[in-house]
Structures are given as C-alpha cells and as structure tokens.
Chains A and B, each alone.
Chain A
Amino acid sequence: MEKFSYVNATSLEQVTSLLSESGWGEVMLIAGGTDLLAELKEYIETPKTLVNLKTLPGMDGIEADASGLKIGALATVADIAMHPTIQHHYTVLSQAAGSVATPQIRNVGTLGGNLCQRPRCWYYRDETTNCLKKGGDICYAVDGLSKYHAILGGDPVYIVHPSDLAPALIALGASVEIVGPEGVKNMSLEEFFTLPAANPFRENVLEPNEIVVEVSVPAPKPNTKSFYLKAQEKGAPDFALSSVAGVFEMDGKTCKTASIVLGGVAPAPWRSKEAEAAVTGKMIDESVSQQAGADAVKDAQPLNDNAYKVTLTQNLVSRAAMMAAS
C-alpha cells in the first residue's frame, strides 16, 4: 500500500472537517478496516490520510426499547448478530449479521463499514483493470465473466452490493443518520443507496465530507415474522450469490404487510415492491409464494453467466414467503 498519515478521531466535527479538505479518496475513514485494508493493499484506494473512527466515544452502542433499535455505526457485526433483543424481535437482522464472513471479521467489522463497503467485483478489485466504476470506459462484466454480477438495476455498472446487513435493515424500515459539515440529516436507508445510472462511481448518496453515525430501526409490528435467506457457493466465508431479507406482518397465513429486499443481485439492495404486492393481503400458499418469486425477478436482465441468479432469487423469495405462512 501507499504511505498515509493516520489520525485518531476526537469528534465528529473534526472528522467532517478533515473530510472537507478534499474530494473522494484523499481522506478516508477506517473503523474495522476489513474492507478498506484490502483495498489499500491492492492499491484500489490510495488515500493520503486515514481517520480512525474507533476513538470516537459512544458510537458503538445498541439501544433497544419498545419503539425500536438505535445502532451506532461503530457497533460490530458480531454485536448485532448476538444481541438478544435483535435475535428475538429482529430475526432477519440477526441472521443477516450472523451470515457475514467469519467470526474474526464479524468481531471487528462495523455496521457503518458494512453499509459503506465497496463492491467485490473481480474487475473492480484488480488494480490494473480500469473499469467504468473506477473512471474507465466500460464495465468489463458485460462482455467478460459475470457469474457473480447483477441481474437487476445494473446498467451501466453491473456490480452487486455485497452487504448482508443492508437488505435486512431496509426490510425492517431502517433510517440512517448522517453527519456532515452542515449538521445532522436523516433519511431512509432505502434512499441512502443509489444505482449506477445515478452515479456509476459510488453506491450511496454520501457526500465526500459526510459520515454515517447511526441506524434506527422501528420496532416490528406484532405478529411479524422475518428471515434472511442467503445462497452461497461456500459455507463461509462467502458473499451472497443471492439473498432475500423478508419481513412479513402476518395474520395467521394471511400477510397484512410485507417488505422484501434482495441482496447480491443488484448494485444496491433491491427492494422488490412486485414481490411485496404479490403477497400483501393474500393468504400465502404455494401458488401465491410462486407468484411472489416470479414477480421479484420479472424485470431481471441477466448477463452471459448469471441467468441462474434469476431462478435462485425467484426460489428464495418463494421460500421466504412460504416460511412466513408456516
């Protein structure tokens, strides 16, 4: 990696002030470092300054009460996975956190880092390949090898968003708190992520001088069932070939409301309103769940090597729906 200076953060004001000194890539934030260090070692990123966030006080908490959860951006993935309230009432989130990488990575990787991690795309991660995401002319996955790439929302960059936590949190209706030089702002986590059509270089709406500080999750309604289903080639560690975060408010076998968010298939966590519509207000049976699966992928446009993801995603959505009714 290139040499850089290292600053221990003392306050959010200091962090946003440092970030404001330049555009993307000059000053970067590090918490767990499980993604960033790999990027530094591979010369994908070559920042001049790293700001260590772990010295910021009070940003690693998980608060749970009747109204919901507040999770600090520095909470570790392991803390989220093991939190008793999250395990009982926000199952999808606990399962998603538990599916991330390995225990070692979960122990240091943070919520903020997980949401802001960069794509795993093998063209993007190759220093020598100047792909569209890095300012080049083409997305190599279009004519190249695309087994692990997007089937939805790809144009013009066919990466998939690698986060497991993001689909789960979006399905739970989470919002994110962001601090910048102008102060604090809140937005739904769903709006936080962007597609390459809007910005091929980034995966979210953060400005270069902004930082994610907290995620809030409203308490699920009574009789809510939630699941995170993740398909992998390898037990662990492996990123999702496709994943489904499903949150279903049920009345017996009838689904009152549903939120279904896909991971591993699009450049951003992909909320499937179509699948949600297919189950909402319905008594879920085999045919309804099949319909939900089919509707989830009806706009899918696979590349050369990833048509299997269409079937896989369809089946995972159907499975999640059936699990809600069982």
Chain B
Amino acid sequence: MASWGEASESRLIGKRVTRLSGKDKVTGKAKYTFDINEPGMLYGRILRSETPHATVMGIDLSEAEALPGVKAVIPLIEVGNKLRYQGQEIAAVAAETDDIAKDAIRLIYVDLEELPHVVTEADAMAADAPQIREDWAGNQSEPNIREDGDINAGFAEAAVDVEATYHTPVQTHVCLETHGHVAKWEDDQNLTVWASTQGVFGVRNDFAQHFELPANQVRVITEHMGGGFGSKFGPGTEGRTAVELARITGKAVKLMLTRKAEHLVAGNRPSMTQSVRAGATRDGRLIAYDMKGYGTGGISSGAGFTGPYVYHVPNSRAERVNVAVNAGNQRAMRAPGHPQGAFAMDSLMDELAEKLGMNPLEFRRINDPNEVRQAQYTLGAQEIGWHRRNSVPGSGTGVEKRGIGLGSGQWGGGGGRGTEARVTINADGTVEAVTGTQDIGTGVRTVIAMIVAEEFGLETTDVRVKVGDSQPGLPSGGSGGSQTTPSVAPVIKTAAAAAKQKLFERIAPLLEAPVGDLRVGTGTIYVVSDRTKTITWKQAAGQLGMESISEGGTWEEDLRQNGAAGTQFAEVEIDTQTGAIRVVKIVAVQDCGLAINRLTTESQINGGVIMGLGQALLEERFMDPVTGRMLNANLEDYKVPGTFEIPEIKSIVFDTHRKVTGVGEPPCIPTPGAIANAVYNAIGVRIRSLPITPDKILDALAEKA
C-alpha cells in the first residue's frame, strides 16, 4: 500500500516551505497572461450591452472598421437574437493599440428593440413579471425537493421550533487578474494561447473543438494566474473571440476583460433566500427541518445551496428553485452552495439553541455526527476563549460591544484520476517534474518540488517544476473542487518513486548491494545494511551516461482521502452608535489530512477566511430595478476586504491523518455563519441577511429599542 511515511521520517513533507514562485511574483518577474506581449500584437475589445433585455434589430460595424488602426471588427450576436443581460457580447474589434480598440467599439452602432426586464428575484417572481426564460413558468425552474424521514412526526416531537428567513446576495469572484487570453496562430493549423485559466487542458480541448483543430496542435500556457475561484474553467466568449480575431488578422491578439465586464459576465455566486422552520427536542436533538428557498444564478440555472447542512436532522424537507433574472450567468465560486447554506444553518442552530436555553456549542456537540469536528470544537473554543462570550447576548456594557460565535463547514477535496506526470533524472543529477496541472495560486509547484525532493533526498530548489502548459502532453484536470493537490500529489509521488527505483537498479551493482537495500540520504544514496557504502546523488546520476531516467506515475487512492471538516470561531466588536463592525479575531480549525506544505496550507486557510469575511460584511451585487444595470461593477462600491478589515487569523492545520485532502475551498465556508453568530452574541439582535453592514446593524438596534 502506497504511503507518505511517518511524520518522523519526513524531511520536507509536512514542513513549512516558502513557495518557489514567491520571489518572481513580488519582483514582477512572474509573467501573467496580462504581461504577455508578442511582437506586432493587436489588442482586442468587446462591445457589451448596456441594455438588460432587448432584441438586436441591426448592427453597423462600418465606422469602427474605418477607424485607422483597426484590423478587424466582428459581430458576436446575430441580428434578430436577444440580448438578455447587461454585459452580453455584441461585437469585438482588434486594433493596433488598446486605445484605438476602445475608441472603435464606441463606433459600433446597435439598433435595439428594448424588452421589459427583471433584475431582482422579487421582481422576477411577481405575478405580473415579464417572462424572461421561455422554458420556465414564472421565471422559476421546477423545484428540487429532497425529503428525509417524516417532518410532521418530527415537528410533533419538537419541544421548540424556530422560523426564520435568511438571505445572501449575489457575490462576484473579483479575480485580481481579470479573465483574458493572448492568442497567436503559429500557422493555420497550430494555435498557441496564453490563458488566465484554472483548467489548461479544458481550455485547450475547447479551442480544438471550436476551431476544428487537432488537440495536439493547440497549446495553452498558464505560467501564472491571478485567481479564478471557480470562474476560469473555460475560455468563455472572450477567449474564443481572442482566437477568432487572431485568426482573421494573422496577428497575436490580447483580450483581457475590463473590471466592469469581470463583474458583469465572468461569473458570480448565486443569491440565496430561504424560509426555514426547524424544531428540536427538549434534550437538544435537532428533530425536524422544513425549508423552502430560491436563488438566482442570473439568466442561467445553478443557484443551488445546501440545507440542512452538516448537522444531523432525521426528518427534513428542502425545496429549492432557481429564479431567472436579466443578469450575467453564475459560475462555480469557491465551495459552490456551501457558504450560503452554512450561514443559514449556523444562524438557525444558534436560534434554536437560544430557545432551548442551551449553549450553542453544546447544541452542536449533540447534533454534529462528525468526529473530527467534535475534536475541532474543543480546540477552537479553547483558542477563542469561548467562556468569554456573553451568556446573555447583547449584555455587554458600553458603546462598543463584543461577541463570539461559531460556524461549521464540510468539504470533499479527495482528488481524482486523470493526471499524467513525468519525473526525470538527468545524468548531471538535475531533476525535472512535469505535469499539465496549473497553479491557481495555491502553490502546487512548491508541493510538487517538495514531494520529488523528499523522494530523492534533495532540496526543493534542486527540482525544476513545469506546470501550466499543455504542450508536454501530460494532461491534468482543472483546479476545482479543491482537487489539485490530492489529484496531482499521488501521481508525482509514484512517478518519483518509480524514477528512484530505476536509478537504484542502475547503481546497485556499483554499490554491490541488493536494490532493496538502497536508500536516499541528504544528497546521497547509501546501503542500509552497510552504511559505509555511499555515493553522492550526482555520482549516482552520473552512471546514466548519455541517458536520462523518466518515469510516469499513477494515482494511488491510498495517498489521498476525501472529506475535510472545519469549524471557525469569530470574535467581533460592534460600535452600537455607528453600526461599525470590526472582526477582532478568527480561529479557523481546518481538517486537511496531510498538509504537504504547512505554510501554503495556512495561507490557503487565511485566504478562505478573508473571502468569507468579505461575504459576511461587505460584498453585494447591486442591481438597479429601473435601468436593469449593475450599479457597483467596480471596486469602489463593490467592496472587498482590505488590510483594515483583516483581523488576527489563527489558522490551525488540523491534520488527523497522513493522506492528502484538498482545502482550497472549505476555509471560506464557516466564516459568515461564525461572524453572524458573533454579531448576535455582541448586540442581541440577529441579522439574517448578508452582508452585515452598518445600516443593518443600526436598523436592527433601532427596532430592538
């Protein structure tokens, strides 16, 4: 059975290693798609609809075509078709400079017949709402219903119950690097594209299919990318447009989305509104749960959210529908469906606990079947100082009131098959590890280097890692579902082990020892039965002469495990006169199995907490019902956490076993629930709608008074 070995035997794995690309990133040497500039390159821009719903009656490209410096103008929608949201693509240009391209799209004239729009869930669900999706009656999908047990019997058994409505708004991904591509045709059958993507091979295959090219003649490169969070799996219209413009002009074309377009069309986390009734027995058992909810993923579907979540409810019913509005489509966003559901569930748990007169932590202990999280509760409570919470919510004195709360999360992160990798030992002792995955920002390069270096007794800097390129023809899946490390690490490990075995076989005769007795030391290979027999790594590799050893790996299931439990505790301070909320501290206890690189794992937890904090306190897409446009498609009014918002974060890597589990997504799940419960503990008024902003705090306090 394959194994990562004991912690005591590990020299690198499980330790804190600075990411290998860190210096390149902070010095600007690292090249992102935005930084790629090819000789003679043109700049692409897309004209987008400012009208949320309309029929295209005509498009006049002639003035744009006539503008000096413009090399191509193409329509992206046919006359007679409908535009269904602000930001939808109408036409594109390629020009010698970005400024000319920007001027040119303003010279494209579009004749529109406006149609009535709906951009809020309430407007879409109104009885007299215009029908914006012909296939959905009343702009709503068929309900998705899940039932377990008998809710009527459950409620009959309940001693207390709570009814509440929880809401989370649409959030956008806000990737630091907007979506974009640089496309270059090497000739009419060979295409190279630099893409800001989290799925190099998926993008390659899309281009191959769309442009009818052999897959092995499309090369996609993602050396570095500035965040995806689930929104960058495919090339999108903008990617295909860049390639098409490059094809027409015979020049390389760079087409990056503007910040505004990034908000409008590059994906979002759907909203959630759920009305739920839940009951518990006198002794604190969650017994019944009945939820009806809806959410919008824009004009598309996919607005699912979890519920009931994490805690065991024997009798439950959950009914969800998607609501269509005239807005850009949702895309997967960091733990899709979970943070919304977790916020509602953990708020509900606290409301029930209060009705029972029970400590919310005790109430969770009774109802949480997950043993890992049970242990995390103890650790997290100790770290935050759970005993310091207000036993009576809102009972603190003074203008500034503090409170403590908790929330939970659960994720898979078990990885899967489909990664090919090669680990090569050259005769000069140098080592290469190549695979077609991409570094979405979690530091997979460093993880790969650590695994290979551990196997060979080398340093991470001795291993040249190549990822983010489809050309070596070593496919790997997209970086989604927290799957990258658990998918890639086992393959790298077995590839390195196979290469090592081959090297041992070559040098065993030299060392006059059986292959099975050879071991790596630090930069050496020695015979375990006779330690006087030792040679350096370089000497060993030198035996290869003109050859290299190059081995592939296999995805060994025993090297990874699915399932990551997490819990977080938040402490907040609220200025009851201004409604200002300051998160003082977050304790994040995150199950992750074997953290190959403890440092980047902690970074990942920190990042998840910060993103969760943004959802809890700041982020909301504002759609104007009158104009049908997004009012805050910028970073002034769409607010994301900055240095002032980021609290002390105690990220605890809770490693209970030595198998790899991905944790890219789960650390953002428990944060909003923990913060919302801490707010309640501070002021004694519950805010059931995210983000928890000063206006809501002040309104709630006024209502309480």
Contacts and interface: CB of A to CB of B under 8 A. Distances in A.
A314 to B, nearest CB: 9
A129 B627 contact: yes
B631 A145 contact: yes
Contacts of B702: 311
A122 B622 contact: yes
B639 A234 contact: yes
Contacts of B698: 308, 311-312
B38 to A, nearest CB: 26
Interface in A312-326: 312, 315-316, 318-319
B578 A312 contact: yes
B622 A145 contact: yes
A256 interface: no
B383 interface: no
B143 to A, nearest CB: 30
A128 B86 CA distance: 11
B626 A144 contact: yes
Nearest to B627: A129
A193 interface: no
B694 A233 contact: yes
A143 B642 contact: no
Contacts of B695: 147, 241, 305-306, 308-309, 312
B626 A234 contact: no
Contacts of B622: 122, 145, 147
Interface residues of A, number: 32
B306 to A, nearest CB: 28
A319 B577 contact: yes
A233 B631 contact: no
A237 B695 CA distance: 18
Contacts of A122: 622, 631-632, 637
Secondary structure of the A contact surface, majority rule: loop
A315 B642 CA distance: 26
A236 B639 CA distance: 10
Given A231-B578, A234-B645, A235-B644, A241 B639 contact: no
A126 interface: yes
A140 interface: yes
A120 interface: yes
Contacts of B639: 233-234, 238
Contacts of B625: 144-145
Interface in A232-251: 232-238, 241
A307 B580 contact: no
B629 interface: yes
B644 A307 contact: no
A140 B626 contact: yes
A143 B629 CA distance: 14
Contacts of A228: none
Interface string A119-155: 0101100101100000000001001110110000000
Given A129-B629, A140-B626, A312 B642 contact: no
Interface in B670-705: 693-696, 698-699, 702
B105 to A, nearest CB: 12
A157 to B, nearest CB: 16
Contacts of A145: 622, 624-625, 631
B618 interface: yes
B96 interface: no
A103 to B, nearest CB: 12
B642 A128 contact: no
Interface string B628-658: 0101100011010011110000000000000
A312 B694 contact: yes
B646 to A, nearest CB: 9
A148 B580 CA distance: 15
Given A144-B625, A147-B695, A308-B694, A234 B644 contact: yes
B579 interface: yes
Given A145-B631, A306-B695, 12 more contacts: A122-B631, A122-B637, A126-B627, A129-B627, A231-B580, A233-B694, A234-B642, A305-B695, A308-B695, A312-B698, A316-B578, A319-B577
16 contacts: A123-B631, A128-B50, A140-B626, A144-B626, A145-B622, A145-B631, A233-B618, A233-B693, A234-B639, A234-B642, A235-B642, A236-B644, A241-B694, A311-B698, A315-B577, A319-B577
